[in-house]
Amino acid sequence: MRLLVLTSAALVGFMALSCGKDQNDFKGATDAKRSRDQQEYRVILTELVLIKTEKPYLALDFNKKKVMLKLKGAVLWSYPMNFAVADSSEINEFWYRFIGDKNHLVRTLQKKYLFEGTKQTPDSVLAIVSRALKVDPSLLQRVLPERFQLRWPDGLFLEIQTDVSGEPISKVSNAIVGIGKAVRLPFGEATITIKMDAVDALTLYRATAPGMPTLIYPPS
């Protein structure tokens, strides 16, 4: 009888511990879902503010893994985040630093810089337009980018690379940018690099400008 009592007591104790663990797991899952829901709600509210400005904005969606240009909530242009190096730690560092301690969902584009590119001769339509307007055809030339960077405060960089084989736009400026990067390195920075089609890269480069809002969709 004593053995039966001890066995029953042990079984009750085991069941209590098991229930306690299940409850803790359930609470953890519930808290995580609540946190995700709150973050998604904040993204929606933040985007509503951008929509009301009726101005274009850049969006970095780490859920759908897309870079987008949007206006009034509608997607004007998008391209997959084809990371040159699939290093999850670098990717996580970028969006974590973007949000920061103050949970920023929007940052203002600070600067863009074209490292290398190749000039394209205007097509026949542009040539006709240039003659009609008496404009130097060279002013209508497009530069297909080989590599350029978008920069935000706090050491955030998005580098775009294409398969174009171009020439440095300015070797001196490239060197200065490289020195600046080395100086900032001790203070920390986060860079993600995306491979992109040259024409899409040109669209992104031409459509963005310092001062443009950038919305981030953090991974769920």
Q: What is the pLDDT of residues 100-142, one digit of tens each?
A: 888 889 999 999 999 888 876 555 545 555 565 455 555 445 6
**C-alpha to C-alpha distances, 134 to 123, 142, 143, nearest whole angstrom:** 16, 18, 21
pLDDT value at residue 118: 84
**What percent of the chain is predicted at pLDDT more than 70?**
65
> H-helix or E-strand containing 211?
none
Stretch 198-216: mean pLDDT, rounded?
92
Which of 72-76, 94-98, 158-162, 165-169 is predicted with the least confidence, judged by mean pLDDT?
165-169
Predicted confidence (pLDDT) at residue 197 exceeds the cutoff of 60: yes
d(CA 192, CA 157): 7
Q: Are 192 and 159 in contact (CB under 8 A)?
A: yes
More confident residue, 34 or 203: 203
The reply to whether 143 falls in a domain is: yes
Beta strand segments in 35-141, E? 57-61, 66-71, 74-80, 106-108, 111-120
Q: Are 106 and 214 in contact (CB under 8 A)?
A: yes
Distance of CA 126 to the CA centre of its chain: 34
The reply to whether 7 falls in a domain is: no
Give 4's pLDDT tier (boundaries 50, 70, 90): very low
Q: Are 217 and 61 in contact (CB under 8 A)?
A: yes
pLDDT value at residue 3: 41
More confident residue, 197 or 180: 197
Domain encompassing residue 86:
54-217
Query: For the domain that residue 112 is a member of, what is the CATH number?
Result: 2.40.440.10
The reply to whether 112 falls in a domain is: yes
Which amino acid does the sequence have at 73?
A: G
**Pairing verdict, β 142-152 and 111-120:** antiparallel
The reply to whether 173 falls in a domain is: yes
Stretch 61-83: mean pLDDT, rounded?
95
The reply to whether 91 falls in a domain is: yes
Q: What is the pLDDT of residues 149-191, one digit of tens each?
A: 999 999 999 999 999 887 776 665 555 556 555 555 555 689 9
- How many structural domains is the chain composed of? 1
pLDDT value at residue 51: 96
> What's the DSSP call for residue 169?
S
The reply to whether 152 falls in a domain is: yes
pLDDT value at residue 217: 95
The reply to whether 79 falls in a domain is: yes
Which of 47-61, 76-90, 151-165, 180-194 is predicted with the least confidence, judged by mean pLDDT?
180-194
The reply to whether 26 falls in a domain is: no
Stretch 64-86: mean pLDDT, rounded?
93
Q: What is the mean pLDDT of the chain?
A: 79
pTM of the model: 0.72
